[in-house]
Amino acid sequence: MKDPLAVGLGSVAAGVGLGGGALTLAQIVVSILQGRLDPTTYQDRVGDPLVVGLAAAVLVGAGVGWYGSRAIDNLWQRGVIGVLSAVGAILVGFVAAPVDRFFGPIGMLVWLATSVAFGIAGSRWARKGSQEQPAGSGL
């Protein structure tokens, strides 16, 4: 018997972690570019990488949440998991902004590594929940 709660929560955690990591990576790129380019011509040369990072966070979060929950047969539930993953990814990326302010690039790299590790752990949890458990195993 599959564990739909583990599949759902694991998929949300994977989407939030990996999507938040995508937005955090975009913030790291912006921080590096702002330090190397002239502030008056920054927007003209590179556009706005944070918008690309925000779009990547939404797409990665929703995509990972949707794909990770493929063991759930109900499409409505899978859609809710995808939306929750995307919103959570945006929130994780927004929380990374004060980390940059207080801890600098090293703090951002630690935040990125933590987000990716959280995403990988969630993915493993979802994968474990999607496997058939023997009857009477207590799981």
Asked whether residue 83 is assigned to any structural domain, the reply reads yes
pLDDT digits (tens, 9 = 90+) for 38-82: 766 666 666 677 888 899 999 999 999 999 999 999 999 999 999
Q: What is the pTM of this model?
A: 0.86
Range of the domain at 73: 4-38+47-130
Asked whether residue 52 is assigned to any structural domain, the reply reads yes
Asked whether residue 58 is assigned to any structural domain, the reply reads yes
Distances (CA, A) of 72 to 45, 103, 132: 45, 40, 13
Count: domains in the chain: 1
Asked whether residue 67 is assigned to any structural domain, the reply reads yes
pLDDT digits (tens, 9 = 90+) for 4-15: 899 999 999 999
pLDDT digits (tens, 9 = 90+) for 101-125: 888 889 999 999 999 999 999 999 9
Asked whether residue 137 is assigned to any structural domain, the reply reads no
